[in-house]
Amino acid sequence: MMRAFVEGVGLLGPGLQGWAAGRRVLAGEEPYRPAPTAVAASELLPAPERRRTGMPVKLALAAGLEAFGAAGRDAAEVGTVFASSGGDCDNVHLMCEALAAPERQVSPTRFHNSVHNAAAGYWSIATRSRAPSTSLCCYDASVAAGLLDAASQIAVDGDPVALIAYDHPYPEPLNAVRPLGASFGAALVLAPRATARAIAVLDVAFVPQKAATARMDDPGLEALRAGVPAARCLPLLAALAHGARETVMLEYVAGTHLRVAVSPCS
């Protein structure tokens, strides 16, 4: 079992515009009302980079910066784990179109944004961070893989780590074979020890067997959780919103799970 303390949360999704508003919805204090995800490019990026960023990078930076704002930590000094099922899906579509054209010419900017660690690169520019960063993909289990990686780093190194998960739909025709239901981003700033900013403690354990995956009670939120890999963290965020002791089972790979025991710090 690995332990991590949650110091800050970031959230952006349809009808979940920031953690302060999203927390009330996830806690059941307000009804869930789906609405398009709205996010602007980070003002921390220089103008040329700001123009080049697509929706996935905007999601990652906005969610991450909100979490760091709540944690009161300097983002430049904290390692990161970026988890995404598809990366920049719009850019993948445009590159496929370019490669299908007679000229087969891909612009350097498109190629630059196609790599899976593009969000991490823009993050390092925006925050001036030279801290270690991991970018991973694990299909529908990307959030669980990201949390497992972040918790492992905290257990081994004893340093804080931020988990930033994001996904954005593919355009057609790729959407027909890999549908992602909405644009969604979430972030957790995790620390190895309790601090004045800590709101909850997570005890993370790998479960090498099938288990009942955590789901959302609200039909709209459950559709979001099931339809967007990054949103598989919603039951964990709901447990944080409730502020009570809960155990959340997150689906991992090949029938395995992560068991996350959530306890409030106060």
Assigned token pair, 48? 């040329």
What is the spatial distance between Cα 249 and Cα 222, in angstroms, rounded to a whole number?
15
Given the structure tokens 């969610």, which residue do they identify? 63
pTM, full prediction: 0.95
d(CA 254, CA 176): 24
User: Domains in the chain, please, with CATH?
Assistant: 2-197 (3.40.47.10)
Please list the pLDDT of the chain residue by residue as tens digits (266 residues). 899 999 999 999 999 999 999 999 999 999 999 999 988 888 888 888 888 888 899 999 999 999 999 999 999 999 999 999 988 888 888 888 888 888 888 777 777 777 888 899 999 999 999 999 999 999 999 999 999 999 999 999 999 999 999 999 999 998 999 999 999 999 999 999 999 999 999 999 999 988 899 999 999 999 999 999 999 999 999 999 999 999 999 999 999 999 999 999 97
247-252 CB contacts, 8 Å cutoff, 24+ apart: 248/214, 249/207, 249/211, 249/212, 249/213, 249/214, 250/143, 250/144, 250/147, 250/213, 250/214, 251/140, 251/141, 251/144, 251/213, 252/141, 252/144, 252/145, 252/148, 252/206
Burial class (CB in 10 A: 0-12, 13-18, 19+), 209: exposed
What is the separation, in whole angstroms, between the first and last Cα of the chain?
22
CB hemisphere CA count around 130 (13 angstroms): 0
Separation between Cα atoms, residue 216 and residue 80, nearest integer Å = 27
CA 15, 135, 127, 235 dihedral sign is: positive
In order of 152, 186, 188, the CA distances from 81 in angstroms are: 11, 12, 10
